[in-house]
Structure 1
Amino acid sequence: MVKIAIFQMRSGIDPAANAAALVVAVEQAAAGGAAMLFTPEMSGLLDSNRERAGAVVRSEDEDEVLAAVGDAARANNIWVHLGSLALREGGGKLVNRGFVIDAAGDVAARYDKMHLFDVDLPTGESWRESAVYQAGDEAVVVRGTPVGSLGLTICYDLRFPAIFERLGEAGAEVIAVPAAFTVPTGEAHWHVLLRARAIEAGLFVVAAAQSGRHDDGRATFGHSLVVDPWGEVMVDGGEGEQLLFAEIDLERIAEVRSRIPVMKHRRDIPMVSD
């Protein structure tokens, strides 16, 4: 049994303020007995104003949020899954990159968001992540974390079951889904998709979410979830910024998979078309 913490956050447009909030969350998570803290997508900066955001986005080596969280992890002897940061990389576009930071404060793994959110919603909201971000091209499983083998995804990846299937096949026991879901899509799909992904892969899903009205005017859905391999919701953060705790028993995975051995029954499906 391992205790984890989930920071349901309301990131703003000031990286320094976001870094300070994350450091407090790291300290409180460690004080609460958690071995690992999970934070949302865009923990360091949430700003739809490209010009304003562009003035404060840095490279990985220069990012103050990553440095502050690494220092806090080391000082408090706790692992952190830093859901994602907007970072400059070589070339004209940014990357949306998640990090696993170990208890020594070192980066144990990185993952760049593979699926980019390009949609026009019925509410009139329009998002074109591909105009700003470069998509990643590799799935990542991190071995030896406090929650065993941890698979990494980010937000919109949730709608693509193939990545969860591949992470499960690669031995993931927990899959992280840091997110900044819009309210309309969250109300319609958040719970059902997260429960489905956990059931399909027969593992735990930890989804740290952004929540509330942000400085740039957008609203995010919240409801950070921890879902077990049977699809049961163990934690639901509802709305508002808060720190949540859950206990994960990895033995539950074998128990569920023995009842419905989906992984053993999976087959390649040939396609026939007229």
Structure 2
Amino acid sequence: MSIPIRVAAVQMVSGVRLEENLAQARTCVLEAAAGGARVVLLPEYFCLMGRAETDKIQAAEALGSGPIQAACAAMARDAGVHLIAGTLPLQHPSGTRVWNASLVYGPDGERVCRYDKIHLFRFQRGSESYDESRTIGAGSDPVALQLAGLRVGLSVCYDLRFPELYRAMGRAEPLDLIVVPAAFTYTTGKAHWELLLRTRAVENQCYVLAAAQGGVHDNGRRTWGHSMLIDPWGEVLEVLPEGPGIVAGAIDPTRLRQVRTDLPALEHRVL
């Protein structure tokens, strides 16, 4: 990689209607591509935020078929971008859960990679309660890949709290970019979202691109938003606090080299 690569994160407030969510995602992907983005990231649950947690089980698709995957392939192909399709529900062997899967498509519309969310969120405070393990099966394998000349590490939402995941992805070769599609709750996002994103950028000396859900959804849930692009020094380059929209910017190889030369922390790792 020798020239800046433009990337974009799409922020949404996805609802209960699959077709409307897919149409909004498509509009944003095409807009991001028109702005020069070569890599576009959608948020977690971009296709559906159901009224009940079990709604995702009804919408789950077999890998390689179904309207959600067809729409993603068409978005990537029509926009001519590398599309990291947030997460979508894939059928799980149990029949009572889904894989919360992030699928990556090339500019030709072909699927090139799959990552299943490893860490499953659980939170209880007063009347606010979440437990993803009730409807989601946990993945097991970290995934990093070459995308548009960048080494990209894939992660999803709650994964952000586990630094060992990113160390594992960058062990063989440093990451240029970490992506984090998410649907952080308002409570946890307000407390920790930016702090964690900037920390992951600093400790891995790479860019971080986060695409969030950001607003009040049809099911009454409120998500934090604040999709952002962060540079390897931990500086927030662009941020969108709330509501639908796009965050965009460039991954600059000169900046990556500068940070890693000035402070060669990756070379100083012992463990």
How high is the TM-score relative to the length of structure 1?
Answer: 0.93
* Consecutive unaligned residues in structure 2, runs of 5 or more: none
Q: Which residue of 2 aligns with 1:196?
A: 199
The Cα of 1:51 is off from its aligned counterpart by: 4.4
The Cα of 1:158 is off from its aligned counterpart by: 0.4
Of 199, 218, 223, 1:220 maps to 223
SS at match of 2:223: strand
Q: Which residue of 2 aligns with 1:271?
A: none
The answer to whether residue 172 in structure 2 is matched with residue 170 in structure 1 is yes
Asked if the contact 2:229–2:248 (Cα under 8 Å) also holds between the matched residues in 1, the reply is no
Q: Which residue of 2 aligns with 1:2?
A: 5
Give the total of aligned pairs: 266
* Consecutive unaligned residues in structure 1, runs of 5 or more: 269-274
The Cα of 1:235 is off from its aligned counterpart by: 0.9
Structure 1: which 4+ aligned runs deviate by more than 4 Å? none
The Cα of 1:48 is off from its aligned counterpart by: 5.0
Of 103, 108, 118, 1:99 maps to 103
The Cα of 1:261 is off from its aligned counterpart by: 1.3
The Cα of 1:70 is off from its aligned counterpart by: 0.7
The Cα of 1:170 is off from its aligned counterpart by: 3.3
Q: Which digits, 9 at most, give the CA deviation of each residue in 1:202-231, with x for residues without a partner?
A: 111100000101111100000001111100
Cα distance between partner residues in 2 of 1:52 and 1:164: 31
Asked if the contact 2:229–2:247 (Cα under 8 Å) also holds between the matched residues in 1, the reply is no
Q: Which residue of 1 aligns with 2:236?
A: 233
Distance 1:61 1:182, change over 3 A: same
Of 142, 148, 152, 1:150 maps to 152
The Cα of 1:137 is off from its aligned counterpart by: 0.3
SS at match of 1:178: strand
How high is the TM-score relative to the length of structure 2?
Answer: 0.94
Cα distance between partner residues in 2 of 1:234 and 1:63: 36
Cα distance between partner residues in 2 of 1:50 and 1:239: 23
Cα distance between partner residues in 1 of 2:23 and 2:182: 20
Q: Which residue of 1 aligns with 2:122?
A: 118
SS at match of 2:50: coil
Asked if the contact 1:147–1:173 (Cα under 8 Å) also holds between the matched residues in 2, the reply is no
Of 206, 211, 214, 1:208 maps to 211
Cα distance between partner residues in 2 of 1:234 and 1:168: 23
The answer to whether residue 11 in structure 2 is matched with residue 12 in structure 1 is no
The answer to whether residue 29 in structure 2 is matched with residue 26 in structure 1 is yes
Over the matched positions of the two proteins, sequence identity in percent amounts to 38
